Structure formats: C-alpha cells, structure tokens
Amino acid sequence: MSQRLLLGLALGSGREGIDAVVVRVGGNGLAAVPAVERHVRHPLPPLVRDALRRGESAPRDLADAFASAARQISAKGMIELRSVLLAGLHVAPGVPFDSLGERVAEQTGVSVWCRFAERDAAAGGAGRPWTPAADYLLAKSDSEDRILIHLGHAASVLAIPAGGKITDLVAFDAAPAGQLLDALIRLGTREKESFDSGGTRAVQGKCHDDWLADWMTHPHLLRPPPKPLANEFGPTFATAALDAARHRNACLADLLCTATHFVARSIAAGVRQFVPPTGRPRALFVSGGGVRNGFLWQLLQQQFPGEVLRRTDDLGTPALARNAAAAAMLAGLTLDGVAVNLPLLTGASGGRLVGRFIPGDPRNWAAVTARAAEQMWDYGQLRAA
C-alpha cells in the first residue's frame, strides 16, 4: 500500500490561529486509509487577528502565519517539508483570500490545493458542506452509526451510517454557531470583546423561552437539505436581536444565554428531523472551536439524553483541527481523481474535480504531477463519488 504525507492548514472561524496537521495516507481514492499524526495550533499575531475580525485583507501577514504553522509542525513532528506531497488550505467564510495560496506555496515549497467552493458553485452548488468526503474516511465505522457535529462558524451535522457508502451520507448546516455568538458579543461590548470565552457570560444569563420559541420557527430550521447557511444569522440578525434585548430590558448575558440555547436546540432538532433512525448503535462526536464553550457543550448534551457526547479526538482527529485534516484529505482525494464536492449534499449538478492546484518548488511539483499521472485520473472514481 503506497504511503504519502499530506499537510492540512486551516484558519479557525474565531480567527485566533492557524491549525496545521500532518496526515499519513495509505491506499488510493475512496479506499484510502488516513491517520492524523501531528497537530499544532499557531496563534495569529494580534494585529493580523484583529484586522481579520474587522474583515480587512492581510494576505502577506496571513500567508506568513500559514507558513510559520507549516514550519512549526514540521519541526514538532521531525518531518521535513520536502517529504510532504501536497498541502490542503482552508480559510473560514468571510476571510479575504487574495493570493494566499500562492504565497504559502512560495514560502514552503509545497504545492497547495485550495478554493473548494468556487468550482462547486459554478456547477450550481452551495460550496457547503465541504468536509464530508474527508470526514467519511476519517470517521466511518462498520459497527455503529456516527454523527459528527462541528461547532465552527456554523453548526454542521454529518451522519455516517454504519458500513455505509459515501452516497449514504446526510449532511447539513443545522444552525449558526460562532457566527452568531461572536457577533452578539462584539456588538454587545462595542467591539471590546470578540467572543464569550467558555460561555462564561452566557451561563450567567437567563434563557427567554418565548424569544427562543420564536427563533425556533426560523425558515432555515425547517428547510430540508441541502441547506447551507449564508447570511441568515449574520450582522442583520445579530443587530435585530440586540435591539430586541434592549426592548425587553434583557442584558447581554440573557441574549447570549438564549442564543446558546438556540444553537443547541437547533442542532438536536435537525438531527431528529433529517437523520433517519436505523435502530443501530449510534455515537456522537463534536469538533470545532465550540468544544471549548462549556455552556454550549452542557446544553447540547442535554438535547441527547442517554447518549454521551465525545470529541473527535477519540476518532484520531483533534477537535480543533477537523477542518485542517479535511483540507489535507480533500487535497489528496482530488489528486487521486475523486470528485469531493458530493452533489447530493451541496446541490451541484454533478461531481467535479474541485479546487485549485498551486505548484510548489520544482521538485515537489514534479512529485505531484507524477502522482496524478500514476493515478491516470480515474474518472470511474469521480462517478462513484
């Protein structure tokens, strides 16, 4: 079984750091067997972090941070960057991309795969969810159904049936997560705070049940998949929620408490509504920056009585690095000729070889092209996916 090293790089939805992982992969295409070997989180310099949170472009500084994360994991894992075949790169929604991929390839010498969403969108898809093909290989099981809940910019759900094929996956954006909670804390503190660390503010508040019930009638929650989140719970929603809190004489803690209840309840409602029961054993795994929000974790656990929430670390994928691991795997799958956009989930008209390849140094690019030639771009796999 051929072995190759892939690098995954991802900017977290909170814009606080770059996650880098090294994934060792044996086998080819959808028969690949991945193992996440190393993970580091490289903090962003405060000036870059704050600029990104304001929606400003900082391509050179951001590229420097990505390259530093790559060098850091190389040093930590005693792995030379020249031994890495390909890097998959992902940034959170709303981050200006500019020439980021080119700059990372220039600084590391490793060829870069990036920009998943654009080709899927050209084929009529939403560009989301983007991780399921990778998650399937990283988390599938023959003995139990698995539900992966990602608490990032949005709260996404992926259901992987026991022994199922990639065409059996169910995935959708269930609710806002960091997108809403971070916007509320920024607006409520007039930009003095950017997130509710650990949910410590929210846990001090009171949940307004009538307010929550009104939010639970939002059209997104009732819409069947594909149902990607765009701006339904963006700045307009957050501003309206803050205005409503003032009219109710509710404090910021009450607003955050109600919003956190909304996230947890919406996730559970989505699972009940769109993930058909099978009667088989089921396990739930959580990833994303939201795993550090103890209050959200507690509320989410209450929504699944009799089941135990676990972090994806128990599956071998660090909870904070799920996007980085997915980026690495999708880069490798695309190089193997697999369409990773999964049209049943994104709404695209068909499977496509998505993303963009950016050459690294000549030696690395020669290895990438040799790998592509070796696989002969097996379009039979593309149809199968």
The per-residue pLDDT for range 206-245, each reduced to its tens digit, is 999 999 999 999 999 999 999 999 889 988 999 999 999 9
Q: Tell whether the model's pLDDT for residue 115 goes beyond 80.
A: yes
Q: Region 301-328: what's the mean pLDDT?
A: 97
The per-residue pLDDT for range 234-287, each reduced to its tens digit, is 889 999 999 999 999 999 999 999 999 999 999 999 999 999 999 999 999 999
Nearest CA among 177, 174, 158, 235 for reference residue 14: 177
Kindly list the domain boundaries of the chain, sorted by start residue.
3-127+328-384, 132-319
Q: Quick one: fold of 3-127+328-384?
A: Nucleotidyltransferase; domain 5 (3.30.420)
**With pLDDT > 90 as the criterion, what percentage of the chain qualifies?**
77
Q: Region 46-66: what's the mean pLDDT?
A: 80
Q: Give the pLDDT confidence score for residue 8 in this predicted structure.
A: 97
Q: Angle at which helices 362-375 and 322-335 pack, to 10 degrees?
A: 60
Q: Give the pLDDT confidence score for residue 111 in this predicted structure.
A: 98
First to last CA, the chain: 21
Q: Region 160-177: what's the mean pLDDT?
A: 96
pLDDT-based confidence at residue 10 (cuts at 50, 70, 90): very high
Please tell me the least confidently modeled range out of 14-18, 94-98, 380-384.
380-384
- Residue with the larger pLDDT of the pair 14 and 350: 350
Q: Region 68-86: what's the mean pLDDT?
A: 90
Q: Region 166-194: what's the mean pLDDT?
A: 92
Q: Are β-strands 154-160 and 145-151 bridged in parallel, bridged antiparallel, or unpaired?
A: antiparallel
Q: Give the pLDDT confidence score for residue 55 in this predicted structure.
A: 72
* Residues contacting residue 87 through CB under 8 Å, at least 6 positions apart: 6, 7, 8, 9, 70, 104, 105, 108, 110, 111, 112, 113, 328, 331
Q: Tell whether the model's pLDDT for residue 384 goes beyond 60.
A: no
pLDDT-based confidence at residue 93 (cuts at 50, 70, 90): low
Please tell me the least confidently modeled range out of 189-193, 314-318, 329-333.
189-193
pLDDT-based confidence at residue 376 (cuts at 50, 70, 90): low
Question: What's the rounded Cα separation, in Å, for the pair 72 and 84?
Answer: 14
Q: Tell me if 3-127+328-384 shares its fold with 132-319.
A: yes
Q: Region 287-292: what's the mean pLDDT?
A: 94
Please tell me the least confidently modeled range out of 14-28, 318-332, 368-382.
368-382
Question: Mean pLDDT for the chain?
Answer: 91
Q: Tell whether the model's pLDDT for residue 155 goes beyond 80.
A: yes
Question: What's the rounded Cα separation, in Å, for the pair 174 and 158?
Answer: 10
Output the CA torsion sign for 53, 96, 238, 195: negative
pLDDT-based confidence at residue 196 (cuts at 50, 70, 90): confident
Per CATH, domain 132-319 is 3.30.420.40? yes
Q: Region 150-164: what's the mean pLDDT?
A: 96
Question: What's the rounded Cα separation, in Å, for the pair 207 and 204?
Answer: 10
CB atoms within 10 A of CB 165: 12
Q: Give the pLDDT confidence score for residue 320 in this predicted structure.
A: 94
Question: What's the rounded Cα separation, in Å, for the pair 244 and 246?
Answer: 5
Tokens of 245: 């809190």
Q: Tell whether the model's pLDDT for residue 292 goes beyond 90.
A: yes
